[in-house]
Chain A
Amino acid sequence: MRIFTALAATIALFGGCAGPPVDDRIFPYRSEIRDLPNGLRAIVVDTGRPDIVALYTVVQVGSRNEVEPGRSGFAHLFEHMMFRGTERFPSEKWEEIMQEAGAQTNAYTSDDRTVYHAVFSKEDLEQILELEADRFQNLAYSEEIFRTETRAVLSEYNKSFANPFRKLDESLRDNAFEQHTYKHTTMGFIEDVEAMPEMYDYGLQFFDRYYRPEYSTVCVVGDVDFEQTFGWIEKYWGGWEHGSHQEEIPVEPVQAQAKEFTTDFHAPTLPLLVVSFQAPAYDDELVDSAALDVISFYAFGEGSELHKKLVIEDQTVDVLAPAYYDHRDPYPFSVIARVKKPEDVEAVREAILATFEELKSELVPAEKLDAVKSHLRYQFALSMDSTAAVASTMAHFIGLRRTPETINKRYRLYGAATPEEIQRTARKYFVDSRRTIGLLRNSAEGGEQ
């Protein structure tokens, strides 16, 4: 093997080879971080792949920051507004330059971050850095354009209206959270989305608060020259002014008693069952959240005993999936099952709960954990199959910790998830008082309004 030697060494290590690690970094690419005086962080990564460059600008603002009542969904709406141009580069001009570059551009918003990305040929890097720096500093749009864009966002909400998994997510958050803004989805409550045309002034405030260098990280990934790239970032982004807003996100209290909910869905669907426990935030120092990740694969993933029983042998369930997503603040650990027949819901629920109990009462066999750790390592290696994929994966972690080093730390923690740690973690979090169980179904009597 002539390339990716660091990665190969890593995988060999986790495959069980003895001897001291030469390099245990799962993220094997040469990278460098520089912080500008205004608070902006710049990260440049060489993927060793030719010609293509990905520019990912990660702003640490998402639906988590929507603290005021009536403003749910606003971070996502604002992501749309960022495509509405500046005085120097009106949106048509921005589109034209990106088109000329053959760039693939888009953006997305999640609970914790808003990410703007473009993938293109390396010769266009300077121009695109200049173009992007301009909109983050000088965005300008009229109230008419703002109102027009709010309707595109409503349409985006509506396009997923028929998806019962979307509705289950909405209901679970609304029931599981009392205080924290994770109570609503990134799309927001429908009544807030419908009221968006009247929120022009709030948009100006939102931009002023969060579209600031101290919330932002510019990542340039691919076929790059480090010094030249940092030079361009300083040149075009260095004049961006530091802001003054201090975010205050409500803290979710520890759940005191078990909850249950039922949601009626407006259209025919198979019943969806979710069993969920209040769980910790993403961490790269404490082992708990990494141990829960390992549990999600071991106990509820495709290779699990529960999957074998419910999906392959009994065939009462056709979708069984764990859902425990990395978040900046505590977020639930969930297991979702799509049950083929309503009369089997109770038995499926019992089987899932029994699996949680078993994690607390019995030690997981070490070789099963090795299989999960091997899976996690290879999954990561297999996903790094292009410059765009490396940048996209990195953006996820930048949204959490603003450094790719967190990836290496996190994967080292997976290695530390021993059978005893798994049991300790299960006993800590899988307790009745932290639990929420929900059922979504289509009933003839009621429907979603």
Chain B
Amino acid sequence: MRRFIPLVIAAFLTAAPGLAIETVELQNDSPLVSIRILFRTGAASDPEGKEGAAALTAAMLSRGGTQDVAYDEIVERLFPMAASVSAQTDMETIVFHGTTHIENLEEYYSTLRAMLLEPGWREDDFRRLKDEALNFLRVELSSNNEEELGKELLYLKIYEGSPYGHHSIGRAPALEALTLDDVKAFYAANYRQGNLVIGLAGGYPDGFAERVAQDFAALAEGSPAAVELAAPTRTEKLRVHIIEKDTRSTLISIGFPIDVVRGHPDWPALKLAQSYFGQHRSSKSHLYQRIREIRGMNYGDYAYIEYFPRGMYLTEPQPNLARRQQIFQIWIRPVPPENGMFALRIALYELNKLVREGISGEDFESTRRFLKKFVNLLTQTQDGELGYALDSQFYETPAFNGYIKDGLDALDVEKVNAAIAKHLRASDLDVVVITKDAAGFRRALLSGAPSTIQYASTPPEQILAEDKIIGPYPLEIGSVEIIPADTIFE
């Protein structure tokens, strides 16, 4: 077998001749072709009272019929190719993506093109997809997925009153009231040439990229008006939101907005700090070691500086969730209810320690070495590489692997600790708790009484000694509210 040789080493950004459409190309000689059609718009552009329009519009394109072909026929066409057109709607990006074998490129692309450019807007597709969106919010998220619910509520609370202040799928009553005209209006206003980026990767023929750009020039010129994002207001003390739910465990998410997104001078430093403190699904990270490995409190404990939905199913983040505003977040996976208060305290205690003491030179070096190699795994598929290339275009940064490696090379431990001190904090935070006995949790929060932890076996002496410090760790409570689970998306 011949080695895989990229024909185009780096992603390049072009505008097709005479057109304003941006294209990101990663042409190589793979037999697979990945396509990502990205629009710089999203749920943050949902008109007020019509929250859900962005996601439902994207669903109508990716899972509805075209002018000429009904949806069931599209499914039948794509089935023998094992191909699909998936849509992902986030606050500021909507991406349509799929991969096909090159033998099917013509048929796949012509189907995708018609789906995106000649939507059928059928009433029965609309009814089906609206039902699905409502069931997602009211049944799947509210009732059947506690981990995702807690993390999503944290975002809703931090961004209350902001264009980011509703779930990307929408708000249930607004979704219910949406009409077919609403999604057509969203399409007309937001699917334009000026906010479109076409991403292609794989062994597609020469001239293909130009042809795609020509086709998409059928969209209206210009761009939708930019959505204004005010800086989120700083929470005072601890603002605790407790979701009362019939559950066996207590789940905790903690967070606050940060000023740092990819492209910010401190992003590599903060990325390193986050990786050290709570690399997703890594058993080496600090939080995981202190909470799970040593104490056996739960399944895992992580930290983030970028939005990472569906984390319970994924070991790596998905691309094309780029945002102009991000939060720092800690995710404590389910703990037994009797250890819930202690879990909150240990998370805040460790965060406080990170902010006060920073990280050691040794941890700095080992985390940096880890990240420099780990980044190669994030872009090991061509579709992943394409997704990251589109994100680099959003953030106006160099290609991701180089950006992160160069950024890490320029760091030293002092710079990382300065970034931690500047951007992270252990006070003035939002906390989301999901638990069965909400009133009991509130009482425990407000009582100021020290927390204890139940162990399956007695841990070493120095851990017990540390527990005595964590137990009474001071919690400055600003407010506590109890929210019934079935009201969150209403």
Residues of A within 8 A of B (CB): 1-4, 6-8, 11-12, 15, 28-30, 46, 48-52, 83, 91, 95-96, 98-106, 119-121, 143-152, 154-156, 158-159, 161-164, 197, 266-270, 301-303, 307-308, 311-313, 315, 318, 340, 370-371, 374-379, 381-382, 385-389, 447
Given known A11-B101, A267-B246, A378-B104, contact A318–B299 (CB-CB < 8 A): no
Give which listed residue, B83, B144, B376, contacts A52 with CB less than 8 A: B376
On chain B, the residues within 8 Å of A144 by CB distance are 457-459
In the bound complex, do residue B456 and residue A389 qualify as a contact, i.e. CB atoms below 8 Å apart? Answer: no
In the bound complex, do residue A50 and residue B4 qualify as a contact, i.e. CB atoms below 8 Å apart? Answer: yes
A344 shortest CB reach to chain B, Å? 13
B485 shortest CB reach to chain A, Å? 9
In the bound complex, do residue A164 and residue B144 qualify as a contact, i.e. CB atoms below 8 Å apart? Answer: yes
Docked CA distance A377–B83 (Å): 12
A283 shortest CB reach to chain B, Å? 23
Chain B contact patch, size range: 35 or more
Given known A151-B297, A159-B312, A382-B83, contact A1–B203 (CB-CB < 8 A): yes
Give which listed residue, B2, B146, B333, contacts A155 with CB less than 8 A: B333
Docked CA distance A95–B363 (Å): 13
In the bound complex, do residue A315 and residue B127 qualify as a contact, i.e. CB atoms below 8 Å apart? Answer: yes
The residue on B at minimum CB distance from A388 is B380
A–B complex contacts, Cβ < 8 Å, 13 sampled: A3-B29, A7-B31, A30-B1, A48-B1, A48-B3, A83-B283, A99-B282, A155-B335, A268-B142, A303-B79, A340-B131, A381-B32, A382-B32
> Could you mark each residue 447-471 of chain B with 1 if its beta carbon is under 8 Å from any beta carbon of chain A, else 0?
0000000011111000000000000
In the bound complex, do residue A159 and residue B456 qualify as a contact, i.e. CB atoms below 8 Å apart? Answer: no
Docked CA distance A11–B381 (Å): 21
Interface residues of B in 174-197 (CB under 8 A from A): none
- Whether, in the assembled complex, B160 has its beta carbon less than 8 Å from a beta carbon of chain A, the answer is no
On chain B, the residues within 8 Å of A148 by CB distance are 294-296, 455-457, 459
On chain B, the residues within 8 Å of A3 by CB distance are 1-4, 29-31
On chain A, the residues within 8 Å of B76 by CB distance are 303, 371
In the bound complex, do residue B295 and residue A156 qualify as a contact, i.e. CB atoms below 8 Å apart? Answer: no
On chain B, the residues within 8 Å of A315 by CB distance are 124, 127-128, 131
Docked CA distance A301–B124 (Å): 21
Docked CA distance A54–B182 (Å): 49
Rank and list the top 8 A-B pairs by shortest CB-CB distance, nearest first: A102-B373, A148-B296, A147-B457, A303-B79, A378-B82, A379-B82, A374-B80, A151-B296
On chain B, the residues within 8 Å of A154 by CB distance are 336
In the bound complex, do residue A385 and residue B382 qualify as a contact, i.e. CB atoms below 8 Å apart? Answer: yes
Interface residues of B in 116-147 (CB under 8 A from A): 124, 127-128, 131-132, 135, 139, 142-147
On chain A, the residues within 8 Å of B336 by CB distance are 151, 154-155, 158
- Whether, in the assembled complex, B102 has its beta carbon less than 8 Å from a beta carbon of chain A, the answer is yes
The residue on A at minimum CB distance from B142 is A268
Q: Which of A51, A105, A197, A268 has the most CB of B within 10 A?
A: A268
On chain B, the residues within 8 Å of A385 by CB distance are 32, 99, 381-383
On chain A, the residues within 8 Å of B312 by CB distance are 159
In the bound complex, do residue A102 and residue B383 qualify as a contact, i.e. CB atoms below 8 Å apart? Answer: no
In the bound complex, do residue A102 and residue B372 qualify as a contact, i.e. CB atoms below 8 Å apart? Answer: yes
In the bound complex, do residue A162 and residue B144 qualify as a contact, i.e. CB atoms below 8 Å apart? Answer: yes
